[in-house]
Copies of this chain bind each other. A is one copy, B any other.
Amino acid sequence: MDDRKKRILQAIVDEYINTAEPVSSGSIARRYNLDYSSATIRNEMAELEKCGYLDKPHTSSGRVPSALGYRLYVNELLKDDDISIEEIKYIQSKLETRVNEIEDLTRITTSTLSEITHYTTVAVGPRNNMQRIEEVKFVLLGKRNLMAIILTDSGIIKETIIKFDEDITEEQVNTLTFIFNNKLMGKPLEAIDKPLEEYIFSQMNYSLNVIKPIMQQLKKVISEETEYLLEGANKAFDLPEFKSLEVAKNFINILDTKEIMMDLLNTGFANDINVYIGEENENEKLKDFSIVTFKHKYKDKDLGTIGIIGPKRMDYSKVISVMKYISKKLNGE
C-alpha cells in the first residue's frame, strides 16, 4: 500500500462523502491536484478495488468506498482539527450554560453535537453499577409516600417514590436513613441486594411491609435503563441515502428499539472515540450506518456515552474533531 494509493483513496472517500455519488477517475483527476491523468488513477483504483478498499455498483460506474476503505480512512487518513472558529465559539457558548443537574449537561452536549454535525445523536447515562453511593436520604411525603434519594459519586442523583399501605413514622424514617447510610456509604449501587434486605430486616423490628417495598423499588430504580436521549432524528431524512425506504425503515427501527444503540454505546473503550462502520457491526440492521461514540466525563466524573449515528458516508473528520473538542472542554480544558 504505497503513498499514492492512500492519497487517491483519501480523495475518493472525501469526494464520496461530499457528493454521495460513485466517484470516477476523471473527477478525482480534475478536482484534486494529484498530478496524474485519469488513466493512471483508473489503474490505481482497479488495484484498490482488488485489495477490497473500494466497491463498484456496476461494471461501468465509478467507485464507492467499502467498509474496509472507510476503516483505513478513519485510522490513517483523517484530517485533523476539522472545526471552524465559529463552531468553536458556538460550542463554547453552549457548554458554558450553567446547569443544576448533571442530566442537563448531557442534554446540552447531545443537542450541540447534533446541531454542529447535522447528524442524529444519542446519549445514555453511565452504567449504574459502576457508581458508588455517597449518601441515601429518605423523605416522607404525606403519611404513606416515601421518597428515597441516592447520591452517587458521579453526581447522578437517583430518586424514587415508594408507596405504602400503612402509615410511616418519622422515627422509622430516621432509623432507615441511619441503617442504609451506615451500610451503603462508599459501596457500589449493586450493594442494594438480597443480603442487604436481610440485614436490614434483622436490624429493624418492623414488619416486612415497610422494607419489602423499599428494597423492591430501589432495586428497580438501579437496574432501570439509564436515561436515553435522542436528538435530531429528522436530520437524517434529508440525506440522499434515505431515499431508500429500506434504509429509512431500518433507521427508525434502530432508534425505536433502544437496546441496539444502548448496547453499542455501552461497548467501546473509555477515554477514546470509537468508530463502528457499517457491516463491521454484528447487527444486520446497522449495515448501512456508521456510529461514532465517546464516553464523556465532567471533571473526571463518568457521565455516560454519547453517540452519533449517520450514513457510512459520514463526515468522520468533522464528527471526530468536534467530539475531541467537546471531550477536552468538558474535562477541563
Q: Which A residues are within 8 Å of any B CB, using their own CB?
A: 100-101, 135, 137, 139, 141-142, 147, 149, 151, 157, 159-163, 217, 232-234, 237, 242-243, 245, 248-249, 252-253, 255-257
Contacts and interface: CB of A to CB of B under 8 A. Distances in A.
Q: Indicate how many identical chains form the complex.
A: 2
Contacts of A252: 233-234, 237, 252
* Interface of chain A, main secondary structure: mixed
A142 B134 CA distance: 9
A101 B161 contact: yes
Contacts of A233: 252, 255-256
B157 A149 contact: no
Given A139-B149, A245-B243, A160 B234 contact: no
A48 to B, nearest CB: 33
A233 B257 CA distance: 10
A252 B248 CA distance: 10
Given A100-B161, A252-B237, A253-B234, A139 B139 contact: yes
Given A139-B149, A233-B252, 16 more contacts: A100-B160, A100-B161, A100-B162, A100-B163, A137-B139, A137-B141, A139-B139, A141-B157, A147-B149, A147-B157, A147-B159, A234-B252, A237-B248, A237-B249, A237-B253, A245-B245
A160 B101 contact: yes
Q: Which of A101, A139, A234 has the most CB of B within 10 A?
A: A234
Contacts of A101: 160-161
A141 B147 contact: no
Contacts of A253: 234, 237
Given A100-B162, A100-B217, A256 B243 contact: no
Nearest to A245: B243
A162 B157 CA distance: 12
A298 to B, nearest CB: 13
A329 B163 CA distance: 21
Contacts of A255: 233
A142 B151 CA distance: 9
A200 B234 CA distance: 45
A146 to B, nearest CB: 10
A101 to B, nearest CB: 5
Contacts of A249: 234, 237
Which 8 A-B residue pairs are closest in the complex by CB-CB distance? A234-B256, A237-B249, A234-B252, A234-B253, A233-B256, A100-B163, A100-B161, A101-B161
A323 B45 CA distance: 61
Nearest to A238: B249
A161 B98 CA distance: 13
Contacts of A162: 100
Contacts of A157: 141, 147, 161
A262 to B, nearest CB: 16
A45 to B, nearest CB: 32
A330 to B, nearest CB: 17
9 contacts: A100-B161, A100-B217, A141-B151, A157-B161, A233-B252, A234-B249, A234-B257, A243-B245, A248-B248
